[in-house]
Amino acid sequence: MTTPEAKALLTVARCAAKAGADQLRQFDGNSFGVRRKGQHTCELITDADEAAETAVLAVLRQETPAIPILAEESGRHGEMGDLLWCVDPLDGTTNFAHGHPFFCTSVGLLREGKPWLGAIVLPRMDEAFWGGWGLGAFCNGVPIQVSNRTTLAQSVLGTGFAYDRRQQLDNNYAEVCRFAHRVGGLRRGGAAAVDLAYVACGRLDGYWERGLKAWDTAAGAAILWGAGGQVCAYDGSPLDIHSGRILAACGLELQQQMTAVLVATHPLAFDCYGGEPS
């Protein structure tokens, strides 16, 4: 596919992400319905999630009707193909429901199963990130790039915890403990797409997390690659977008150090979380 075609698809991603974020702005600060996705989960869904997804899908269907879509709330639309839109209409739903500004709409495009390009819009922050393979990366139209830090001791890393952390021993607690003694700082933002965008622009130096879906990481991983960063599996092998795990770093040296920590870490072998969510 030519660069003009890729740029055209990136423009579609930007328009779709903006449409979703515009819906979030309308709900933000007002009353809206909030409910759990399941009986034993911390995962929430709001009226804003659904309205934003409807807006995003309307743009994608209008502009690229032949490209299938994988959306968080409504699942898969269309037949399998080389290209696949991955849509998270509201990444950071818990933040949004509590009035915390760290949330976004994320629209990424996979090409042959790999993150290729994407757009992320943070409505409360008035920031839009976009980019991809061979396309560079931008924030509000200004080119961005990753930081140049090369050691864990210098670095600030982001991470998060999956919604099933209270039922799974493989819950990222052990990894957080190991990294906490080795890095300059840890941050837990609560929105994977934003964390990846922050690595892309140098606000974070690295990021890792488990329990993720393709719609959480497709856009952010593509933008990070466009900004010169590294994205892979925990063990340093190529990223499988459907594996649920991702390691992102500003450069190869930091990636290798993060991989060494993650490979050496074993899940906690005892119940430290105290039961079901209330």
What amino acid is encoded at 242 in this protein?
A: H
Average pLDDT over residues 232-242: 97
- Residue 1: per-residue pLDDT: 66
**Residue 86 — pLDDT band, cuts 50, 70, 90?**
very high
Task: Give the percent of the chain with pLDDT over 70.
Answer: 89
Beta-carbon-side half-sphere exposure of residue 102 (alpha carbons within 13 Å): 15
Report whether 164 contacts 41 (CB < 8 A). yes
| Domains, the chain, ordered by start | 3-143 (3.30.540.10), 152-264 (3.40.190.80)
Average pLDDT over residues 244-269: 93
Contacts of 4 (CB under 8 A, 6+ apart): none
What amino acid is encoded at 86 in this protein?
A: C
Which has more pLDDT, 80 or 52?
Answer: 52
Give the integer Cα–Cα distance in Å for 183 and 195. 17
Contacts of 271 (CB under 8 A, 6+ apart): none
| Mean pLDDT of all residues belonging to the chain | 91
- The radius of gyration computed from the CA coordinates of the chain, to the nearest angstrom, equals 18
- Residue 256: per-residue pLDDT: 98
Q: Is the pLDDT of residue 165 over 80?
A: no
- Residue 36: per-residue pLDDT: 72
3-state secondary structure 144-177: CCCCCCCCHHHCEEEECCCCCCCCCCCCCHHHHH
Range scoring the smallest mean pLDDT among 2-6, 133-137, 167-171, 236-240 = 167-171
Report whether 117 contacts 134 (CB < 8 A). no
Give the integer Cα–Cα distance in Å for 35 and 44. 6
Give the integer Cα–Cα distance in Å for 216 and 218. 6
Q: Is the dihedral of CA 231, 234, 236, 237 positive or negative?
A: negative
Q: pLDDT of 178-222, one tens digit each?
A: 999 999 999 999 999 999 999 999 999 999 999 999 999 999 999
Report whether 116 contacts 229 (CB < 8 A). no
**Residue 277 — pLDDT band, cuts 50, 70, 90?**
very low
Q: pLDDT of 107-119, one tens digit each?
A: 999 999 999 999 9
Report whether 139 contacts 201 (CB < 8 A). yes
- Residue 276: per-residue pLDDT: 45
